[in-house]
């Protein structure tokens, strides 16, 4: 844990950096704390106040230089036709995803930055007029520091899981902060219709219990209901696994000890354990304990690209990232590819 002296030194260094770059109140361009209200701002509904987990943030003017840091925040903004100046890919990929590039439709891609550990100096140097920290770790200390750089919005009130903001709430929050509320409702309605239509077309999904997760380094990590991958499955009619739900630890996943692997048993398992060719990781295929589960014996497992695949420029990588990041762009790209996998797994094919 950092000492009080270390934290004080870091705060002093950041303050000095912000002063040097003109990014503290009164020392640089107006970031919305004052100044006149333009006709364009008024037409777009500004100023707006966003209530969130750490209080509220007033965005005085329509932002033009946005930095997005949360999981799926960048992709949600692009779905609103708001292209950030810079944004974080949830898995640290260093180039635009295929399905994100398609949505950009030839527009310049955001500068990709890493946000697992927020680099405040890098973000300050980008000179944002809005920071989107919505679907995140919900770290108040990070939020407070970011707010010294530019107006910052965080997860909606009531969110109690890290990376646990439902995609529709994420879209609406970002839409309000960027003056695209009408577009946000249009995007939410269209995405919800896509999911509802898929669920209606596949009534066999309704009420079936699904377990979803990833195999990595000898461990099965299972996603909680708040995770975007589980949200996608429940949107299609599946139910969450009560045995897994009971292990809720406030995170978006739980790693099962070997002696609890039986809790994975359900009507369907959706597991990230495949390679770029769609072959199952041998460590999973040859795991006798996993193989003993009735759901596995019945061949009711849908595999997709695992950790070594998600950051590859391949069809499996695109599928895995779209499922995992989710949101309107990910859902639109993946739902037509996902449904056949789930149908085959339920049928034991």
At 50 the three-state DSSP class reads strand
For the ranges 17-31, 264-278, 311-325, the lowest mean pLDDT is seen at: 17-31
pLDDT over 60 (residue 5) = no
Domain locations in the chain as residue ranges: 12-190, 202-346
Tell me whether domains 12-190 and 202-346 share a fold: yes
CATH topology of domain 202-346: Rossmann fold (3.40.50)
pLDDT tens readout for residues 254-288: 999 999 999 999 999 999 999 998 899 999 999 99
What is the structure's pLDDT at 55? 98
- Cβ neighbours of residue 263 closer than 8 Å, sequence gap 6 or more: 211, 222, 241, 243, 244, 247, 256
Residues of the chain with pLDDT > 70: what percent? 88
**Contact assessment for residue 92 and residue 159, using Cβ atoms and an 8 Å cutoff:** no
| Cα–Cα nearest to 318, from 333, 339, 308 | 333
Residues of the chain with pLDDT > 90: what percent? 85
Superfamily holding 12-190: Nitrogenase molybdenum iron protein domain (3.40.50.1980)
pTM for the predicted model, two decimal places? 0.88
Overall average pLDDT of the 229-246 stretch: 98
What is the structure's pLDDT at 200? 98
Joined together, the tokens standing for residue 297 give: 């014996």
């Amino acid at each position: 844990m950092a000492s009080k002296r270390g934290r004080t030194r870091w705060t002093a260094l950041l303050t000095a950096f912000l002063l040097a770059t003109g990014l503290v109140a009164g020392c640089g361009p107006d970031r919305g704390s004052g100044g006149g209200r333009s006709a364009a701002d008024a037409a777009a509904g500004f100023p707006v106040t966003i209530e969130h987990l750490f209080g509220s943030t007033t965005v005085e003017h329509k932002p033009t230089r946005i930095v997005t840091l949360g999981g799926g925040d960048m992709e949600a903004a692009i779905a609103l036709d708001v292209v950030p100046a810079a944004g974080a890919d949830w898995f640290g990929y260093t180039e635009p995803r295929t399905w994100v590039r398609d949505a950009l439709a030839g527009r310049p891609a955001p500068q990709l930055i890493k946000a697992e550990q927020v680099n405040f100096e890098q973000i300050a140097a980008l000179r944002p007029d809005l920071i989107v920290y919505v679907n995140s770790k919900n770290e108040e200390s990070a939020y407070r520091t970011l707010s010294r750089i530019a107006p910052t919005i965080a997860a909606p009130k009531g969110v109690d899981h890290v990376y646990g903001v439902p995609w529709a709430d994420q879209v609406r929050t970002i839409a309000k902060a960027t003056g695209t509320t009408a577009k946000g409702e249009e995007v939410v309605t269209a995405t919800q219709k896509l999911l509802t239509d898929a669920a209606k077309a596949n009534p066999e999904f309704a009420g079936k219990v699904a377990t979803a997760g990833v195999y990595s380094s000898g461990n099965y990590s299972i996603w909680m209901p708040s995770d975007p991958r589980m949200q996608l499955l429940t949107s299609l009619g599946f139910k969450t696994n009560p045995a897994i739900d009971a292990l809720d630890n406030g995170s978006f996943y739980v790693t099962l000890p070997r002696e609890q692997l039986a809790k994975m048993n359900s009507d369907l398992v959706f597991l990230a354990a495949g390679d770029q060719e769609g072959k199952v990781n041998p460590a999973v295929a040859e795991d006798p304990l996993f193989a003993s589960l009735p759901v596995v014996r019945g061949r009711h497992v849908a595999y997709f690209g695992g950790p070594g695949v998600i950051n590859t420029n391949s069809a499996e990588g695109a599928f895995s990232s779209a499922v995992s990041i989710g949101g309107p762009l990910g859902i639109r790209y993946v739902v037509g590819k996902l449904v056949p996998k789930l149908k085959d797994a339920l049928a034991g094919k």
